[in-house]
Amino acid sequence: MKALENIALSMLDLVSVREGGSVAEALAIALRTAQHAERLGFARYWLAEHHNMAGIASSATAVLVGYIAGGTRTIRVGSGGVMLPNHAPLVVAEAFGTLAELYPDRIDLGLGRAPGTDQATMRALRRERAETADDFPQDVAELQRLLAPAQPGQRLIAMPGAGTNVPIWLLGSSLFSAQLAAERGLPYAFASHFAPRLVLQALALYRQHFKPSATLSKPYVVIGVPLIAAPTDAEADYLASSTYQRVLGILTGSRIGLQPPTENFLAQRHPQERAAIGDFLAAAVIGGPETVRQGLQALADATQADEFMLVCDVYDSALRLRSLDIAAAAVEPVAA
C-alpha cells in the first residue's frame, strides 16, 4: 500500500466555459482556482491546449500559463500540455523561455503528440507545414537543445529560452510517450482522466525502461484523476452529472459548455451510453470524504503514482473549490 500523504496533488484545468457564462468569467474562475490550490499546497497547476472546441477556453496555453503564474506566488504552472505537432519547437522554446525568465523555477513544459483538435483546425494552426505526430521525438530533442545552455557554434538559439532549462514532461494516453519518456529520462504524465485503459501497461513500460538522465535520476509518474467531491456520495454524484454531460458530448461529437448538474442523469441514459461514460471515467473518484479517500488510495495502490493531477469540473465554482478541499484533506496524514 502506498501512503496517500506521500503523493503530491496538482490540478489540470481545461478552463471550462459554463453554460450561460462567458470566457472572461471562465478565465477568472481558473485564476481563483489556482490561488486556492496554491493555498492548499498543491504542487502544480497545468493548462491543457485545445482548439476549436466549444466550452473550452485554454487554446492560448502559454498566455494562460503567464496569467496564472502572474496571479500566484509559489505553485508551479505549466502546460498539460502543449500539443507539439501544432507548433514549431523554436516558438515553444521562446514562449516558455520568456515565462521562465518572468517566473523563475515555477514553469513546467508538458508536451503531447496529439493535435488536440480536428484535422481542419490542425491544418489551420500549422498552415502548409506537414508536421505529424511521428516527428514528435525529433521535436522533443530540438526543444531540449533550445532550452539548454547555448553551445559554441550553435546557430539556432532561443532568446529568451537558452539556458532556462524549463522542465520538460512527456504526456500520453498510449505506450509511445511512455517509451520515449523512459529513453530520455523525463517525467511522465498519463492521461488517465480521459483514456484510462492503458494506464497500468504504460506505467510499467515507463518504469521498466527508464534511463536516468541529467534531468531525472528515477522514474516520476503523474496520473490524471477526474475528481468530484462533496459532503455526501449522493451530492457528489449529482454534481458529477455536469462531467457526465460533457463526456457524453465528447463521445457523440456534440461539444457544449459545461452544463449545470441534473438529477438522475446516468439513470436516464441508454445502457450503452452509461457504459461508454463509465469507460471514459474509469479512473474517476466521485463521492463524499471517505469515498474520495478510498478511491484515491485504490489509485495509489494500483499505479504507485508520485502525483495525482486532478481534473475537477464542477459547474458551481465555489463547490469546485470545496471538492479540492476534500481531496486535500483525504491525503493529509492521519493523526495518531
Cell of 108: 513546467
User: Shortest CA distance to 308 belongs to which of 5, 8, 106, 33?
Assistant: 8
Please give the pLDDT value at position 336. Answer: 43
Q: What is the pLDDT of residues 22-53, one digit of tens each?
A: 999 999 999 999 999 999 999 999 999 988 88
pLDDT band at 333 (very low <50, low <70, confident <90, very high): confident
**Contact assessment for residue 108 and residue 166, using Cβ atoms and an 8 Å cutoff:** yes
Bond prior to 80 in cis (omega within 30° of 0)? no
Segment 164-174 mean pLDDT: 96
Averaged confidence pLDDT in the chain: 93
Please give the pLDDT value at position 51. Answer: 84
Q: What is the pLDDT of residues 117-163, one digit of tens each?
A: 555 555 555 545 555 556 899 999 999 999 999 999 889 999 999 99
DSSP secondary structure code for residue 208 in this structure:
H
The percent of residues above 70 in pLDDT, for the chain, comes to 93
Please give the pLDDT value at position 281. Answer: 96
Number of Cβ within a 10 Å radius of residue 316: 13
Query: Quick check: 225 pLDDT over 90?
Result: yes
Cell of 15: 478552463
SS3 at position 177 = helix
Q: What is the pLDDT of residues 45-84, one digit of tens each?
A: 999 998 888 889 999 999 999 999 999 999 999 999 899 8
Query: Quick check: 116 pLDDT over 70?
Result: no
Please give the pLDDT value at position 124. Answer: 54
Please give the pLDDT value at position 119. Answer: 59
221-229/285-287 β-pairing: parallel
What are the chain's domains? Answer: 4-228+303-316 (3.20.20.30)
One-letter amino acid of 97: G
Query: Quick check: 204 pLDDT over 60?
Result: yes
Please give the pLDDT value at position 256. Answer: 83
Segment 106-112 mean pLDDT: 97
Query: Quick check: 194 pLDDT over 80?
Result: yes
Please give the pLDDT value at position 126. Answer: 57
107-112/188-190 β-pairing: unpaired
User: Shortest CA distance to 56 belongs to which of 204, 216, 258, 198?
Assistant: 258
Please give the pLDDT value at position 2. Answer: 85
Please give the pLDDT value at position 122. Answer: 56
**Contact assessment for residue 172 and residue 202, using Cβ atoms and an 8 Å cutoff:** yes
Q: What is the pLDDT of residues 241-289, one digit of tens each?
A: 999 999 999 898 887 899 999 999 999 999 999 999 999 999 999 999 9
User: Shortest CA distance to 239 belongs to which of 261, 265, 264?
Assistant: 261
Work out the end-to-end distance of the chain between its first and last CA atoms, rounded to an integer number of angstroms.
Answer: 18
- Distance CA(62)–CA(98), nearest Å, equals 10
Please give the pLDDT value at position 131. Answer: 54
